[in-house]
Amino acid sequence: MKRTSEICPSRLPDNSALKQQQLPACRLQLSAAGVLSGFFATGAFCLGVGIILILSAKSIKEIEGNVYLYYKLYGFYQNLYQYILSRSNSQLMGTDLKDVGNCAPFSKSHNGTPIAPCGAIANSIFNDTIILSYNLNSSIHIKVPMLRSGITWWTDKYVKFQNPSTFNLSSAFAGTAKPPYWSKPVYELDLQDPGNNGFLNDDFIVWMRTAAFPTFKKLYRRLNRIQYFVEGLPAGNYSFNISYNFPVTRFKGEKSVVLSTTTWSGGSSLFLGLAYTVTGAVTWLAAFSMTAIHLMLKDRTKLFIEQ
């Protein structure tokens, strides 16, 4: 006859320090002075960084040095959940141009041909043409030289976006259709610069990085500092020639053009500086509140002991 322990083995954990939760532990003992000092130090740091960022953003000039041209949209929601999902990362990496499963409602054309690039983000690309001219006098207008490349994040240009492995882009995209709102296929975005064509086109890559807020600006061009513009944009009169291709009335929005320089902290946006400043102020407010509560409790404890 078999013993009970052989028929039903024990389910108890091993008698070890790990499984019996008997390992030595260290409990952090923080004093009230240490916690409050940490809050005050964090608040001071955030306030200092916030003020520096705000002053840096406000110090941006508009006519000297490296000048960048942006387009700005108001009321365009790129952060909608379905809009963000409507893309094919494997297609944008150049690995599978026929992978359009997540691109509804812009996955295939009316005759069933896969769209490249597919999806709502690509289909709604900003396609206005903006030309800046320097009016030397009433009769001479000089086109300001602008560069179309070098306006994207390095990780986007060389990691997240790739063209199919072929020497001929038009043949690589054979069997695909252009997005419905595009006037030309993706392999004709820049016929002069092969490194700025197809999925590697800087304008396309910039647009595909969706914005978090309904009002945003995206980098469109950067100044080529040659001839009259070696030192930046000289003082004088300028004019814009804009081909209106991107309608905004259908979503009750607006659009504008921004010329700006940059600083070590980025562009002219005050958001980051304000975020640091508000965080620092709230942290200090919490620190003062906890200090007051700590002193009140300390006085009550002292009075109770004396009685």
The residues that bridge with 68 in the sheet, in sequence order, are 222, 260
* Amino acid type, 279: T
Q: Give me the pLDDT at residue 268, please.
A: 58
Q: Give me the pLDDT at residue 173, please.
A: 94
User: Who contacts 232 (Cβ-Cβ below 8 Å, separation ≥6)?
Assistant: 63, 64, 65, 66, 67, 223, 225, 261
More confident residue, 31 or 169: 169
The first and second tokens of residue 272, run together, are: 């980051």
Query: Which residue is listed with tokens 């006037």?
Result: 183
The residues that bridge with 142 in the sheet, in sequence order, are 134
Residue 138: pLDDT band (50, 70, 90) is: confident
User: For the residues 24-33, what does the mean pLDDT come to?
Assistant: 75
Residue in 233, 294, 259, 257 with CA at minimum distance from that of residue 65? 233
Q: What is the mean pLDDT of the chain?
A: 86
More confident residue, 21 or 248: 248
The first and second tokens of residue 233, run together, are: 């944009």
CA distance 119 to 178: 11
Q: Give me the pLDDT at residue 184, please.
A: 94
Show me where the domains of the chain are located: 38-60+264-294, 61-261
* Amino acid type, 138: S
Residue 62: pLDDT band (50, 70, 90) is: very low
Residue 266 has pLDDT above 60, yes or no: no
Residue 9 has pLDDT above 70, yes or no: no
Residue 49: pLDDT band (50, 70, 90) is: confident
Helix (H) or strand (E) holding 201: none
Q: Give me the pLDDT at residue 304, please.
A: 61
Percentage above 90 pLDDT, the chain: 53
More confident residue, 298 or 202: 202
